[in-house]
Amino acid sequence: MSIAAILLFFIVYSTIRIFMAKWYFVGEHGYLTPLYSPCLSDSCVKGSSHFGTPFGKFPAWLPLGLAAFPIVAGFRVTCYYYRKSGYRSLWLSPQACAVQEPHKKYSGETRFPLIFMNSHRYFFYLAAVILLINVWDALHAFKGTDGGFGIGLGSLIIVVNVIALAGYTASCHACRHVMGGRLKHFSKHPVRYKMWTLISKLNTRHGTFAMTSLFTVILTDAYIMAVSANWFSDLRIFN
C-alpha cells in the first residue's frame, strides 16, 4: 500500500509540474529538469532545447515534456516491480492471499487493460534513449557563471539523479532479457554473458533503484524549480 501511495504522489506531482510550463530551466547554469527533457518546442525557454525545436510552438494546454513523459510513465506503469503493488492496491487482483477477487472473471494480462503490461520491453528501449538524453543534460549542467566549466549543487543533484535512473533502467528485467535471456549457449557469447551476469546482480536491487529514482527525479525537479523561480540561489562549488 505504501508503494502505491508513493506512486500516486509521484503521478500527481509530475502531472502538476509538466502542465506548469515554467520554472524548469536555469539558463545561467544549464540546469534542465528531467520532467521537461527533451524540450522540443519553440515554446521552450531559450537555451533549454538541446536537440532543436522540430515541433514548433505548443498550445498552452499541451505539456512541453510531451516527447518523454509518456515513455517514462509507460516504463514505470508496466514495470514488474510496481505490478504487485498496482495489482493489489489499485486493480485489486488479488487484494491478498486467500481473498476473493472483485472481478467476476480472471483473464490475467491477456485482455484490456492489463494486456498493456506486455509492452514493457518496448518501453524499455525507448526509456534507454531517454536515459541517454538525461546524460547529455547532465553534461550541460556543468556550466560556470562565465560560460565556462563550473560545478554547483544542482550539477551534483542532476548527476545523482542520472545515476539512479541508470541503475533503474539497467537493472530492469527487460534489460536482463535483452542481454542474455534468449541465449542458448553462454560460452559462444562471452561478452553478452558478462553483461547478463552484471545486470543479473543489479536486478536483485531493481526495487531499490525503482523507488530511489522516483525521489531523485522529484528532488531534481524541485531544486531546479526553486532556483529558476529565484526562491534561492544555486550553491556554487566551483565558478
Q: Which pLDDT belongs to residue 188?
A: 79
Q: Which pLDDT belongs to residue 91?
A: 62
* Positions of the chain with pLDDT under 50: none
Q: Which pLDDT belongs to residue 232?
A: 96
Q: Which pLDDT belongs to residue 219?
A: 97
Q: Which pLDDT belongs to residue 122?
A: 93
Cell for 30? 544549464
pTM summary value? 0.88
